[in-house]
Amino acid sequence: MTDKSAVIAQADQGLEASLERLFELLRIPSISTDPAYKADCRKAGQWLVDELNALGFEASLRDTPGHPMVVAHSNEAGADAPHVLFYGHYDVQPVDPLEEWSTPPFEPSIVTGPDQSGNITGRGSADDKGQLMTFVEACRAYRAAGEKLPCRVTILFEGEEESGSPSLIPFLKANAEELKADCALVCDTNMWDRETPAISTGLRGLVGEEVVITAADRDLHSGYFGGAAANPLHILSDILAGLHDETGKVTLDGFYDGVEETPAEVLKMWEGLGQTAEKFLGEVGLGIPSGEKGRSILEQTWARPTAEVNGMIGGYTGEGFKTVIAAKASAKVSFRLVGKQDPAAIREAFRAYVKSKVPADCSVEFHPHGGSPAIQLPFDSPLLGTARDALSEEWPKSAVMIGMGGSIPVVGDFQSLLGMDSLLIGFGLADDRIHSPNEKYSMTSFHRGIRSWIRVLAALGDRKQAA
């Protein structure tokens, strides 16, 4: 059994050196979306390879058509030990507008926040260099304490996450056997609050669809043709309005197939988080929830499927006024999926519904914009329980299981291509300003994040030994 107390003590003693290494990585402007920084992206990847090799990993930089991947292995725990794949990304977002930064984006420093806490500043400090370095430094602490890593560890660091990960799926397919593990650990998410760690157990899926309705063969004068000619904006408005009933439920046939009720104990845990519609919506100037009636705000955003109109265009939209009946009208619609909802079935149900509402002398065309199923870790997963207990040992408050309204594509890729569930454990905070000027990462998140991974790795290793 691992002496994790000695490892944690080593992490505490080495915190200043850990921080300086993070600063070295943060100084590299690895902006993946800008070709001008191609060499810097490679430099950041190589920096990580060198650090991991120094820690006893077998690490290498793997070329892709875009920015390289970092792959590293440590098998010292033995063939019978659990095997984890840790994922993070070393690329960062652009920094503009530069004039809004209080400190230079690639000159990291420690600043004092309004609550007198220390914050690490700089682009990538939270997303995702600071997060991935918590894991690297946890591995370093094991080495420094003279302990073996309690799990077999494979590391995958990506250099294109902020630019859409174009090389990821081909790379996973080409290297599936090398990258497969018992589970994936992903550190690119938030805590619930400053004292409460969180494990994200669910990610909603997504279906994107664009619909274009064509009526007349040209725009029409509304005085001459109004009242007689079909108006595609009227048709489209009626279609979109009909997507929900008076209770907020989506009306598509079969839409709720595969949707399961959230266990009562999980709902009770979420209720204990103290989130209210007034607090949640008040941050954006609203106060009245518009989703399914009878569902809490967290259940609506984490565990229920939705349909949203994201854009609608048609007719004259310029300055002034023009009395026109548009020839075409279009809308972009997205569906967030949960449970076992089938993206293909949802898309077909939407198309069938739209077609049923379009007059015979009008036409409709559809343009798909991606589709992916939801990811749901079983709430009673032993893996989840082990990680939750380990995190609860470290933080002032017990870890909670949360959902996420959005998607993290790599998690779905791990599941579909490698057959692995993922534990999403991150130490970010809601005010970290990721993708914005003045990005920061709490010193507490960095320090306790290192200690947390030490505990999680030890707990996973001990669980295997106990079995």
pLDDT tens per residue across span 54-63: 999 999 999 9
What pLDDT is attached to residue 464? 63
Q: What is the DSSP letter of 400?
A: E
Regarding predicted confidence, which is higher, 382 or 257? 257
Please check whether residues 116 and 60 belong to one and the same domain.
yes
Q: Which residue has the tokens 């259940």?
A: 299
CATH of the domain at 326: 3.30.70.360
Q: Is 401 within a domain?
A: yes
Please check whether residues 98 and 209 belong to one and the same domain.
no
Q: Spell out the residues 6+ positions from residue 341 whose beta carbon is closer than 8 angstroms to its own.
A: 205, 255, 256, 257, 258, 259, 305, 373, 374
Please check whether residues 222 and 172 belong to one and the same domain.
no
Q: Is 287 within a domain?
A: no
Domain of 14 in residue numbering reads as 4-203+375-466
| Span between the terminal Cα atoms of the chain, in Å | 13
Q: Can you give the pTM of this predicted structure? A: 0.87
Nearest residue to 108 (alpha-carbon basis) of 95, 425, 86, 431: 95
**CA 153, CA 73: separation in Å to the nearest integer?**
6
Please check whether residues 183 and 226 belong to one and the same domain.
no
Q: What is the DSSP string of 10-23?
A: HHHHTHHHHHHHHH
Please check whether residues 48 and 62 belong to one and the same domain.
yes
Please check whether residues 229 and 346 belong to one and the same domain.
yes
Q: Is 265 within a domain?
A: no
Please check whether residues 102 and 225 belong to one and the same domain.
no
Q: Which residue has the tokens 């990821």?
A: 168
CATH of the domain at 409: 3.40.630.10
Query: Is 154 in contact with 181 (CB distance < 8 Å)?
Result: yes
**CA 432, CA 126: separation in Å to the nearest integer?**
7
**CA 411, CA 315: separation in Å to the nearest integer?**
41
Mean pLDDT of 230-254: 98
pLDDT tens per residue across span 64-118: 999 999 999 999 999 999 999 999 999 999 999 999 999 999 999 999 877 777 9
pLDDT tens per residue across span 126-185: 999 999 999 999 999 999 999 999 999 999 999 999 998 999 999 999 999 999 999 999
pLDDT tens per residue across span 261-314: 999 999 999 999 999 999 999 989 999 999 999 999 999 999 999 999 999 999
Tokens (6 digits) for 424: 């999403």
Q: Is 332 within a domain?
A: yes
Q: Which residue has the tokens 């015979």?
A: 360
Q: Is 289 within a domain?
A: no
Name the domain count of the chain. Answer: 2
Mean pLDDT of 239-251: 98
Q: Is 296 within a domain?
A: no
Please check whether residues 327 and 457 belong to one and the same domain.
no
Would residue 14 be called left, alpha or beta, if left means φ above 0 and alpha means ψ between -120 and 50 degrees?
A: alpha
Going by pLDDT thresholds of 50, 70 and 90, the confidence category of residue 367 is: very high
Please check whether residues 215 and 80 belong to one and the same domain.
no
Query: Is 436 in contact with 367 (CB distance < 8 Å)?
Result: no
Tell me how far apart the 2 most distant CA atoms of the chain are, in Å.
86
**CA 302, CA 189: separation in Å to the nearest integer?**
14
The percent of residues above 90 in pLDDT, for the chain, comes to: 91
Please check whether residues 353 and 427 belong to one and the same domain.
no
Please check whether residues 392 and 365 belong to one and the same domain.
no
Tokens (6 digits) for 239: 């279609």
